[in-house]
């Protein structure tokens, strides 16, 4: 199987489930003209999969994309510490949605499976010191919304 993602968490999930896989990341621009957020995320995941599928015939490919959404505002991966701080400050004490789209394709049998998973998350009210402590761990910088609920951050939600 090919995992079209650099996500450490996705790699851990597949390893824990006993899958053998190879990581090949796409270099697509992660944009979409879809208006509805769930459709946009699914479209991006499909683009990732299709780019990898072009050069990998007769393979199983899994691609995904995740964003965090609060009141229509989308939080992807933070570009820097300041943006990560802003994301976490904005999400502090708020119920928000984590939206992940998964696309799986068995190329040889032309089977395509798509799924969108939406989870609601609420953080505790966070002070600046706590946010800065978390940023100092380095954990949030490759994650949508600047946090990973499965990591250290699980203690704050």
- Active site (annotated) includes residue 128: no
Among residues 16, 65, 125, 128, the one annotated as catalytic is: 65
Q: 49: how many CB neighbours lie within 10 A of its CB?
A: 24
| Extended strands (E) in the chain | 2-3, 22-23, 60-70, 73-75, 95-106, 111-122
CA 4, CA 149: separation in Å to the nearest integer? 21
Q: Which residues are catalytic?
A: 65
């Amino acid at each position: 199987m090919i995992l079209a993602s650099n996500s450490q968490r996705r790699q851990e999930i597949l390893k824990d489930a006993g899958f053998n896989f190879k990581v090949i990341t796409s270099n697509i621009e992660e944009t979409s003209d879809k208006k509805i957020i769930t459709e946009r995320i699914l479209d991006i995941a499909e683009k990732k999969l299709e780019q990898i599928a072009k050069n990998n015939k007769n393979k199983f490919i899994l691609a995904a994309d995740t964003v965090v959404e609060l009141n229509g505002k989308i939080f992807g991966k933070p570009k820097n510490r300041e943006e990560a701080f802003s994301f976490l400050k904005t999400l502090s004490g708020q119920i928000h949605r984590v939206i992940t789209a998964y696309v799986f394709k068995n190329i040889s049998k032309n089977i395509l499976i798509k799924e969108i998973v939406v989870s609601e998350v609420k953080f505790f009210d966070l002070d600046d010191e706590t946010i800065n402590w978390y940023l100092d761990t380095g954990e949030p910088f490759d994650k949508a919304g600047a946090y990973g609920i499965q990591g250290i951050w699980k203690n704050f939600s």
